[in-house]
Structure 1
Amino acid sequence: MSDGPLRKAVDATRALGEQTAFYGNALVSTADAVRRYPAEVLRLIAEMGLGTGALAVIGGTVVIIGFLTLSTGALIAVQGYNTLSNVGIEALTGFLGAFLNVRFIAPATAGVALAATIGAGATAQLGAMRINEEIDALEVMGIRAVTYLVATRIVAGVLVVIPLYTVAVLMSFLATRFGTTVIYGQSRGVYDHYFSTFLQPTDLVWSFVAALTMAAAVMVVHTYYGYNATGGPAGVGEAVGRAVRTSVTATVFVLLTITLSVYGQSGNFNLAG
Structure 2
Amino acid sequence: MAATTPSRPRARLHRAVDTAVGGWIQLGDQTRFFAATVASIPDAVHRYPGEVLRLIAQMGLGTGALAIVGGTVAIVGFLTITTGALVAVQGYNQFASVGVEALTGFASAFFNVRLIVPGTTAVALSATIGAGATAQLGAMRINEEIDALEVIGIRSVTYLASTRVLAGIVVVIPLYCIAVMMAFLAARTGTTAIYGQGSGVYDHYFNTFLNPTDLVWSFLQSVAITVVIMLVHTYYGYTARGGPAGVGEAVGRAVRTSMVVAAVEIVMISLAIYGQSGNFNLAG
State yes or no: 1:222 paired with 2:224: no
Q: Percent identity?
A: 66
Taking only aligned residues, the RMSD between alpha carbons, in angstroms, comes to 0.9
Equivalent-residue separation in structure 2 for 1:69 and 1:209 (angstroms): 18
Letter in 1 for 2:49: P
- Segments of structure 2 that go 5 or more residues without pairing to the other structure are 1-9
Partner of 2:184: 173
Partner of 2:122: 111
Equivalent-residue separation in structure 2 for 1:253 and 1:31 (angstroms): 28
Number of aligned residue pairs: 273
Letter in 2 for 1:195: F
Partner of 2:164: 153
Return the index of the structure with the highest Cα Rg.
Answer: 2
Partner of 2:263: 252
Alignment of 1:1-273 (within 5 A): 1=10, 2-272=13-283
User: Which stretch has the larger CA shift, 51-60 or 92-101?
Assistant: 51-60
**Could you tell me how far 1:169 is from its partner in structure 2?**
0.6
Cα distance per residue 1:36-91 (max 9 Å; x no partner): 11111011001001101232111111111111110000000001111111121111
Equivalent-residue separation in structure 1 for 2:77 and 2:175 (angstroms): 8
Equivalent-residue separation in structure 2 for 1:110 and 1:268 (angstroms): 23
User: Which stretch has the larger CA shift, 86-95 or 139-148?
Assistant: 86-95
Equivalent-residue separation in structure 2 for 1:224 and 1:188 (angstroms): 48
TM-score by length of 1: 0.98
Letter in 2 for 1:65: V
- Segments of structure 1 that go 5 or more residues without pairing to the other structure are none
Equivalent-residue separation in structure 2 for 1:13 and 1:95 (angstroms): 45
Cα distance per residue 1:170-210 (max 9 Å; x no partner): 00000000000101111111111111110000000000011
Equivalent-residue separation in structure 2 for 1:191 and 1:158 (angstroms): 34
Partner of 2:7: none
Cα distance per residue 1:219-259 (max 9 Å; x no partner): 00000000000000000000000000100011111111110
The 4+ residue runs of structure 1 with deviation greater than 3 A are none
**Could you tell me how far 1:266 is from its partner in structure 2?**
4.3
Letter in 2 for 1:96: A
SS of 2:197's partner is: coil
Equivalent-residue separation in structure 2 for 1:84 and 1:198 (angstroms): 16
Letter in 2 for 1:234: A
TM-score by length of 2: 0.94
